[in-house]
Structure 1
Amino acid sequence: MSLLKEALHEHRFVCVMEFVPKPSADRFAAIEAIMARTQLCGWPLTVAIGDRVGSPLDMSPLDAFTSFDTPVPALLHFSGKARERQDLLTQLQHMDAAGLDQLLILTGDRLPGHEPGQRPVRYLESVAALQIARQARPNWLLGAALNPFKYVEEEGGAQYFKAEKKLTAGADFMTLQLGYDDRKHHEALQWMRRQRSPKPLIACLMALTHGRAKMLEHVAGAVVTPSMREILAAELEVSKAFAQARSVERLALQIIGLKLMGYAGVHLSGIHDLAQLHALEQALETWQPQIDTLEQWAPAWAASWQMPGLPAVAFNPPGANWRLGESHVSASPREKARYHLLSGFHALLFDRRNWVSRAFGWAVTRPLWLSPGAARVLHGLERSIKRPLVGCDTCGSCRLQDTLYICPETCPKGLANGPCGGTSLNRCEFGDRECVHSVKYRTAKSVGQTAVLTERLIPCVEVESRHRSSWPGWFEVGQAVGANMSERGVGLRKETEAVPAVPGKAPRKRNDALAELDS
């Protein structure tokens, strides 16, 4: 059993050291020296190897792992940006050969060079990747990410909805994105404890200085508020040494607080050498004997964010302070009208039961569409109708019925199961639009379809299906279901009653045969 898996299984607090692989002998030597310690204040140490954090040309996590002179316990990352199913399966095979059996699966941040307005870059998003990895490696330790540091309802609610999907898809633990708001850390922990099968949470932390705060302004999803920057700037005015010592003290206090809250461990970023590790260990050894409870911890944490003459720090952005459980937003009349119009249109043409849908299905499944020329005509027809309506890119496997008729292709990353962690106050990571998943959240809430956003795990679009019509496949699937049910002695009427009459509306009770087809 791997060190991380054993620690999580035995409920031992664990420290995961982040390593961004670069072709530098000094960087490798430094992380090996850190890992040679094997523990921090008695807590086991393991290393997480990032995947294309800075550039697609970075060393792969597996190449980095095999480059260590001395083997180290490692958690490899997999980033889905600009990747397909086969890329993940290939990495799983190579990891098998290297004796590795644990993976943190991430959708990934914006691909460098991908600018607003450009066509989407295909991402193998985390929910689909978790399903693929779990099916291929049932016994591996698989992790996923959660960003609870959201301060408006749509993006925060959508984050937790997607996190439910990640648990269903097979996540064994979750790593939070970098954050400093203790109330949000507590919120995420309470959310997890309410799940049917709670999993361990690991919090990503970094000692924050004025310089790092400037850097985080360009990191998608990271929240550093004006009042936090004021305090960091005031510390730096005293001296660089004072500011550095305060940042290490805060990191130590944050680790202690998260351990007291019930976190399974911490994912430490920004520690690059033994001197930094020693400074953190000294701060931990100073504070741990003084703090036994969260009641003792809270005033110490608050004091670490105070400077003379400055107001108390606020971890939430100005004017935004949503907390999980608060619910006030609703879709606009236009958003609701759009949903009902497209839902009705979908029911008319794709219900598979009424005469219009049957006639349309018969027409688009004729053998004549199998020829390359005719297939291009049908593809062009579907694209010309759907692109102006929903932004369709004719992916060949239409998911509109599972996304409340908001096309995933209008997301620059093409995400169907929910948002990435890079949104900010409902704005897309690209900054040129509102996140489509925020619109989807408002719509789902207003039309009573929030279950769609937590229960429907949408598979990835396969390479071979792209840029062709999805219509024949939709009706061929329906015919296959009908044939399957007939073989089992079940009539067509009973089969169609088991399928949602209008995809996108509340699902009816499904039978075992349909569950088998979905699996």
Structure 2
Amino acid sequence: MSLLKTALREKRFVCVMEFVPKPSAQRFADMQAILARQQLCGWPLSVAIGDRVGSPLDLSPLDALASFTHQPDALPHFSGKDRERHHLLAQLQRMQAAGLEQLLLLTGDRLPGHQPGQRTVRYLESVAALLIARQACPDWLLGAALNPFKYQEEEGAAQYFKGQKKLAAGADFLTLQLGFDADKHHEAMHWMRRQPAPKPMLACLMSLTHGRAGMLEHVAGVTVTASMREMLAAESQVSKAFAQRRSVDRLALQIIGVKLMGYAGVHLSGIHAPQQLDDLQDRLAHWQAQVENLEQWAPAWAASWQMPDLPHVTFHPPQGNWRHGQARAQASFTEKARYHLLHGAHDLLFERGQWLSKAFGWAVRQPLWATGTGARLLHGVERAVKRPLLGCDTCGRCRLQDTLYTCPETCPKGLANGPCGGTTLNRCEFGDRECIHSVKYRTAKAVGQTAVLSERLIPCVEAHSRHRSSWPQWFEPGAPARLSAQSVPRSQPES
């Protein structure tokens, strides 16, 4: 059994070092030296291997593992950007052959060069990937991501609803996005504890300097506010060594804080050399002797973000400070009217018990439409009707009923189950539109259908089914029923 799986089962706090596999022998040697220590302050030490994080020259997680002199106990990542089902199945087969049985499944951030409208890039989203991996490998340790660092109701609530889908689809643990807002770490933990079957969570943490804050401005889904940057800049003006010491001190404090909150471990980013681990361990030892509970921890954490003559640091942007449970968002008249009109049209044409629906189903299942010319004609008709109205890309497996008539194809990543982690104040990671899942959330809330956002698990669209009409398939006898959270088989937890 893997180190991570053992630690989670035994409820031992665990440290997972993030490793982005750059083509550098020194980078591999340094991480090998870090992992050789086997522990940080007595906590077991493991490694996570990133996938498609940055440059296309990066090694794949499995090739990176093979490049270590001594193969470590590792948690490979699988990023769904520019991927289909067969890519995931191929990685699962390679992992099985190598004796690996744990995987972190991520949708992935924006693929470099992906411009909406210029070329289509498919993203295998994490909910669908979890369904595939859990079916193929029922006993594996599978993880997914959660980003609680959201400050508008629509994006935040939709993120938690999608988190519920990930748990239902088979996630054994969740890893949070990188974040520094302790209130949001508390919030995510309270949310998890309210779930019917709570799962362990890891907090992704990093020592933050002014230079790294500038780099993180280009990382989707990470929030670094102006007041944070101002404080970090003041530290760097004292001296580079002073700023570095303070950043390591804050990281040590944050690790202790999330441990006290109940997190199962940390996913540590930005530690590349043994000396960095030594520095962190020294500060951890210091703070462990000083802090025994959250009441003692909170003022120390606040003080670590203070510099003389500077205002109080805030971790939320000035445009929003939503907290889980707060209700502010309201759908517009247009959003509500659109839903009701489309829902009514769907009931007439696609609810199989209606006489008009029966007639329409009979018509589109005639042998004519199974011929090459007929299929092209029917596809053209469906596309001509639905594209102007819905942004449809005729995926061949219409999911509109499960997405409150907001077409997933209008998301640049094609996500159907909920938002990615890259939104900012309801804006899409691509920056050119409001996130469609924020619109979907407002609509669901207005019409009393929020359960759809957490209970309907939508499988991936298969590559071979795209760009053909979905109508004949919809009316096929024995057409697949909706996949709900309750219908997914669960892996049996080990005793």
TM interval, short-chain normalised: over 0.9
Gaps of 5+ in 1: 485-498
Identity %: 74
Give the CA deviation at 1:116. 4.0
- Give the aligned partner of residue 381 of structure 1: 381
Give the CA deviation at 1:119. 4.5
1:189 aligns with 2:189: yes
- Give the aligned partner of residue 204 of structure 1: 204
Q: Would you say the 8 A contact 2:168–2:488 is kept in 1?
A: no
Q: Would you say the 8 A contact 1:120–1:414 is kept in 2?
A: no
Q: Would you say the 8 A contact 1:13–1:259 is kept in 2?
A: yes
Q: Would you say the 8 A contact 1:116–1:431 is kept in 2?
A: no
AA in 2 matched with 1:305:
W
Give the CA deviation at 1:118. 3.2
Give the CA deviation at 1:56. 3.6
Provide the secondary structure at the position in 2 that maps to 1:105.
strand
Distance in 1 (CA, whole Å) between partners of 2:73 and 2:488 is 38
How do 1:336-485 and structure 2 match up within 5 A? 336-476=336-476, 479-480=477-478
Distance in 2 (CA, whole Å) between partners of 1:68 and 1:319 is 46
String of CA shifts for 1:42-92, please: whole Å, max 9, x gaps: 000000000010034421100001111012110000000010111101100
Q: Would you say the 8 A contact 1:201–1:264 is kept in 2?
A: yes
Structure 2 CA distance for partners of 1:366 and 1:516, relative to 1, 3 Å: farther
- Give the aligned partner of residue 316 of structure 1: 316
Equivalent pairs, count: 489
Q: Would you say the 8 A contact 2:169–2:488 is kept in 1?
A: no
- Give the aligned partner of residue 493 of structure 1: none
- Give the aligned partner of residue 11 of structure 1: 11
1:330 aligns with 2:330: yes
Distance in 1 (CA, whole Å) between partners of 2:287 and 2:187 is 24
Provide the secondary structure at the position in 2 that maps to 1:104.
strand
User: 4+ residue stretches of structure 1 with deviation over 6 A?
Assistant: none
- Give the aligned partner of residue 95 of structure 1: 95
Provide the secondary structure at the position in 2 that maps to 1:330.
coil
- Give the aligned partner of residue 492 of structure 2: none
Provide the secondary structure at the position in 2 that maps to 1:66.
helix
Q: Would you say the 8 A contact 2:79–2:108 is kept in 1?
A: yes
1:265 aligns with 2:283: no
AA in 2 matched with 1:103:
L
Q: Would you say the 8 A contact 2:79–2:106 is kept in 1?
A: yes
Give the CA deviation at 1:181. 0.3
AA in 2 matched with 1:199:
K
Provide the secondary structure at the position in 1 that maps to 2:204.
strand
Distance in 2 (CA, whole Å) between partners of 1:78 and 1:270 is 20
Q: Would you say the 8 A contact 2:23–2:57 is kept in 1?
A: no
AA in 1 matched with 2:126:
S
Distance in 2 (CA, whole Å) between partners of 1:229 and 1:58 is 30
Q: Would you say the 8 A contact 1:105–1:130 is kept in 2?
A: yes
Q: Would you say the 8 A contact 2:82–2:124 is kept in 1?
A: yes
Give the CA deviation at 1:311. 1.1
Structure 2 CA distance for partners of 1:312 and 1:79, relative to 1, 3 Å: same
- Give the aligned partner of residue 136 of structure 2: 136
Provide the secondary structure at the position in 1 that maps to 2:187.
helix
String of CA shifts for 1:137-156, please: whole Å, max 9, x gaps: 00000000000000000000
- Give the aligned partner of residue 123 of structure 2: 123
- Give the aligned partner of residue 42 of structure 1: 42
AA in 1 matched with 2:439:
V
AA in 2 matched with 1:107:
T
- Give the aligned partner of residue 69 of structure 2: 69
Distance in 2 (CA, whole Å) between partners of 1:145 and 1:394 is 29
Q: Would you say the 8 A contact 1:364–1:472 is kept in 2?
A: yes
Give the CA deviation at 1:516. 10
Give the CA deviation at 1:412. 0.2
Gaps of 5+ in 2: 490-495
Distance in 1 (CA, whole Å) between partners of 2:100 and 2:328 is 46
Query: Could you state the TM-score of these two structures normalised by the residue count of structure 1?
Result: 0.92
AA in 1 matched with 2:446:
S
Q: Would you say the 8 A contact 2:22–2:57 is kept in 1?
A: no
Q: Would you say the 8 A contact 1:31–1:273 is kept in 2?
A: yes
AA in 2 matched with 1:423:
T
RMSD across aligned positions (CA): 1.7
String of CA shifts for 1:328-360, please: whole Å, max 9, x gaps: 211100000000011111111111122211111
- Give the aligned partner of residue 278 of structure 1: 278
Range that drifts further, 360-369 or 109-118: 109-118
Provide the secondary structure at the position in 2 that maps to 1:480.
coil
Q: Would you say the 8 A contact 1:248–1:279 is kept in 2?
A: yes
Distance in 1 (CA, whole Å) between partners of 2:435 and 2:9 is 37
Q: Would you say the 8 A contact 1:120–1:411 is kept in 2?
A: no
Give the CA deviation at 1:117. 3.7
Give the CA deviation at 1:287. 1.1
- Give the aligned partner of residue 303 of structure 2: 303
AA in 1 matched with 2:438:
S
Provide the secondary structure at the position in 1 that maps to 2:475.
helix
Distance in 2 (CA, whole Å) between partners of 1:211 and 1:116 is 30
Provide the secondary structure at the position in 1 that maps to 2:111.
coil
Provide the secondary structure at the position in 2 that maps to 1:325.
coil
String of CA shifts for 1:472-511, please: whole Å, max 9, x gaps: 00001xx226xx9xxxxxxxxxxxxxx89xx9xxx9xx9x
AA in 2 matched with 1:246:
R
Q: Would you say the 8 A contact 1:83–1:122 is kept in 2?
A: yes
